[in-house]
Structure 1
Amino acid sequence: MSHPSAPSRRRPAVLVAGLVLFSAGVGIGHWSDRLIPPLPATAADEAPAGLKVVRGTIERTISALGVVEPRVFVDVGTQVSGQLRAVHVGVGDAVTRGTLLAEIDPRIYETRVTGDEARLLNLEAQLRQAKAERDLARLREARIRRLFEGRAASREDADTSAANLIIAEAAIAAIEAQIGEARSTLDGDRTNLSYTRILAPIDGTVVSQTSVVGQTLNANQTSPIILRLADLATMTVRAQVVEADVVRLAPGQPVRFSTLGRPDRVWHSRVRQILPTPQTLNDVVLYDVLVDVANPDGALMTSMTAQVFFVLDQAVDQPLIPLTALDRREDGDRVHVRLADGRIESRRVAVDVVAQGLAAITSGLNVGDTVLPINAHDPGTLTARVGDWGASGRAPAAAAPR
């Protein structure tokens, strides 16, 4: 009697296993909707997201770096040579015009003044003597002239007396000229003596001191500087602007700036002057633009670094949309607006300022409208959402001016 082979014996087991797996598959398929939660809908299944029109302010600006300096400052020096005997103020002291700042040793100049005064007194005494001699010569000339008329004196005596009178008058004129010269010298030496007392020429603050007590200052070869006074009530920002941008600036243009140490505080002012002479640094042509600003609290200090923004255009408190939602065409700018019932409407809008990735709208949209990016038909590329744009109804503050 023959026995079945091994493959024949395995066939019933394989059939049983297949039936078990088939039953399990049917059961899983039946219960899959209840056991496995549905997958989330993809972006392709969602309606395109929109961006709310918000209200805000944008600017188109030119940026530059600048240095803060006093608008008015004076390097106070000495007009006479000598040893610096005293300095009566220090750095940081506030002074008024006429305040005594320093003194030069005055002894040499006092000696000169004393000598000039003595010489002047001598000449004045000589003048009195010359006038007395002239009066005597006049009397003699008159007496001899009468004698000559009465034929009691010779012509030679008459001519001699007349010449003596003329000589006496000339001597007086010469002494008077010398007196004038002496007085002029005295005035000059008195002025030099007064220069040994160095007074403040303006109201301001002492910002630096370059000379020390005991130092000898030579005013004949150089202009020695003792200290610098500055009026810190008004400061000037000297901004360096490249030649490609400076042509778009003009005096009176709005400016705002902040300092490196106080980036949270913003100062506002206007352009005072654009200097015509450029500076060339590393083959870059730069022009100095001056901006004045009041400094009542002294927060601005000399040599501070300032980040300056010159405002070219500005849209204040206007409806704003991102540029991704603006469809710019030859026949006019348009946006796609989602209405309350879900329909999409194409609207023509008037654009004011475009800056910082935003566009200010003057007509065609209202705050709160929902606009669609121009690529909204391809939801896979859409990344912005209403929540990203700003649920508070204001434009996002992260945009930086360019």
Structure 2
Amino acid sequence: MAALGTLAVMGFRAPSPDSLYETAAVTRQDIESTVAATGKIQPHAYVDVGAQVSGQLKRLHVAVGDKVTAGMVVAEIDAEMQAAKVEGIEADLARLSAELAEQEAGLVFAKRNVERHLTLSQTSAVSQLAFETTTRDRDILIARIDASKARIRQMQADLRAQKTALRFARITAPMGGTVVSVDAKEGQTLNANYDTPLILQIADLDTMTVWTDVSEADVVKLREGMPLWFTTLGRPDRKWHARLRQIQPAPRRPDKKAEPKAATQSGNVVLYTALFDIPNEDGGLRAGMTAQVFFVTAASKDALVVPVSALSEGRVRVLLDDGKIAARKLETGVRTRFLVEVTRGVAEGERVITGVKAPGPPAKLRVES
């Protein structure tokens, strides 16, 4: 009976605050408020290298992954047709130049003949008809010479065009970088009459650009130059830090072929493109990777923080050491979904009430004999 009485007294003792409330300690840590978005990593600079003349791809000097420098020959097209055209035009130019020289010699004679007939006509030694005939012959030669000079200029222009085409048969790299794709094969016939055939693509992989899609609800929180960081799916433990370079003023135009599908998947959400660059000397970033981007809108180092769940209209309840509860009004700073910075109102180590514990089932009392 004495033992039962003692247990009864203990059962009706007032419960402790720890058994009634969920609490969290006020701690110090870094805190930042971010806007999350998803982006694609692409080379900062790249160029598509194509053929400007038609013909058979005779030689391909590079493969995917090769490093190239600006001006380096990367491919050659069979240029026998262009070379033959250049040779033919040069021969025509030589013939026209000879004809022009003959005409100019005839013009010298015609001018002297006109002068002689002019002198003789003044003494009536020749007829007026003879003088007019020599004048006509001179004028005809002048016109023929002008026509020959015009044909020569046209031929010289054609020669420059054909020499340029011949030079284009040796395809050079317009920039230095890495060959990221090759779209043609040796022996393939390229037709550049209607469209520029793509041979390969060169990209500068030392600097990458992240194209980030930001919703219209979040884009108003961004500003150029703000800090950010991102991770990749393959390296979620590594953070790359950068600063926002540009926010494009209009939403990116979707591909017309993919627009109906994209509209279905995105639910007609308007997305703006935010761009930033990141050095890639170690090659850890590759084109096409997905980046989980966090734009830092506010941050604080070594700040006092409490859970957001402890706040109620700017106040918290603090569980004191003696078991009493004190209400405190807080001054707050940076706020995230789960934590809030406290600049005044609580001290490090104090415990704030975040909720009420759910009552458990009644304890069973077993008396052993």
2:162 maps to which of 179, 184, 189: 189
Say whether 1:45 aligns with 2:25: no
Partners in 1 of 2:80 and 2:13 — Cα distance?
98
Question: What pairs with 1:10-25 in structure 2 (closer than 5 Å)?
Answer: none
Number of the residue aligned with 1:258 = 231
Number of the residue aligned with 2:363 = none
Partners in 2 of 1:149 and 1:30 — Cα distance?
163
SS of residue matched to 1:229: strand
Question: What pairs with 1:8-87 in structure 2 (closer than 5 Å)?
Answer: 29=2, 44-46=15-17, 51-87=24-60
Number of the residue aligned with 1:95 = 68
Q: CA deviation at 1:337?
A: 4.3
Partners in 1 of 2:49 and 2:34 — Cα distance?
40
8 A contact 1:236–1:293 mirrored in 2 = yes
1:224 maps to which of 179, 197, 202: 197
- Relative to structure 1, the CA distance from residue 162 to residue 250 in structure 2 (aligned partners, 3 Å threshold; closer, same or farther) is same
8 A contact 1:43–1:379 mirrored in 2 = no
Question: What pairs with 1:55-204 in structure 2 (closer than 5 Å)?
Answer: 55-204=28-177
Say whether 1:306 aligns with 2:280: no
Question: What pairs with 1:245-394 in structure 2 (closer than 5 Å)?
Answer: 245-271=218-244, 272-274=246-248, 275-279=250-254, 280-282=262-264, 283-287=267-271, 288-328=273-313, 333-337=314-318, 345-366=326-347, 368-373=348-353, 375=355
Partners in 1 of 2:163 and 2:224 — Cα distance?
47
- Relative to structure 1, the CA distance from residue 104 to residue 39 in structure 2 (aligned partners, 3 Å threshold; closer, same or farther) is farther
Structure 1 counterpart of 2:289, one-letter code: M
Q: TM-score, normalising length from structure 2?
A: 0.84
Number of the residue aligned with 2:362 = none
Provide, for residues 85-118 of structure 1, a one-character-per-residue CA deviation record: whole Å limited to 9, x for no partner: 0000111011111000000001000000001111
- Relative to structure 1, the CA distance from residue 31 to residue 122 in structure 2 (aligned partners, 3 Å threshold; closer, same or farther) is closer
- Relative to structure 1, the CA distance from residue 130 to residue 260 in structure 2 (aligned partners, 3 Å threshold; closer, same or farther) is same
Structure 2: where are the runs of 5+ without partners? 255-261, 360-369
Partners in 1 of 2:308 and 2:26 — Cα distance?
12
Q: TM-score, normalising length from structure 1?
A: 0.78
SS of residue matched to 1:188: helix
8 A contact 1:278–1:286 mirrored in 2 = no
- Relative to structure 1, the CA distance from residue 106 to residue 39 in structure 2 (aligned partners, 3 Å threshold; closer, same or farther) is farther
Identity %: 39
Provide, for residues 9-57 of structure 1, a one-character-per-residue CA deviation record: whole Å limited to 9, x for no partner: xxxxxxxxxxxxxxxx6xxx47998xx9x97998923566854322222
Provide, for residues 119-155 of structure 1, a one-character-per-residue CA deviation record: whole Å limited to 9, x for no partner: 1111111111111011000110111111111221111
Structure 1: where are the runs of 5+ without partners? 1-24, 382-402
Q: Of the two, which has the highest radius of gyration?
A: 1
Q: What's the Cα RMSD here?
A: 2.8
8 A contact 1:77–1:224 mirrored in 2 = yes
